[in-house]
Amino acid sequence: MATKTNKIEDFKITKIGRKTYEVTYTSPTTGKSWTQTTDDHDLIQNILNGHSVIIGLRKLKFICKIN
């Protein structure tokens, strides 16, 4: 069975404040979306700059799915 990896295309990142972002994760399997606001500026910048992308996307997915 193939391992599913997170891709940047599964996320929509919108800056809504100085260091605040609205992040929407859409599952490529189910099409279901989760949206969350985060102030983890370092995480977002690392992802956008291509640093620690795999780990960062996993963390971002977790943040989006938290209620």
Give the phi and the psi of residue 66 in degrees, each rounded to 5.
-70, 140
DSSP H helices, the chain, are: 41-48, 53-65
Segments making up each domain of the chain, as ranges:
8-65
Report if pTM > 0.85: yes
Are the C-beta atoms of 55 and 61 separated by less than 8 Å? no
Q: Find the length of the chain.
A: 67
Give the list of residues 6+ apart from residue 20 with CB closer than 8 angstroms, or none: 37, 38, 39
Task: For residues 2-15, give the mean pLDDT.
Answer: 85
What is the DSSP pairing of strand 11-15 with strand 33-38? unpaired
% of the chain beyond a pLDDT of 90: 85
At 35 the pLDDT is: 97
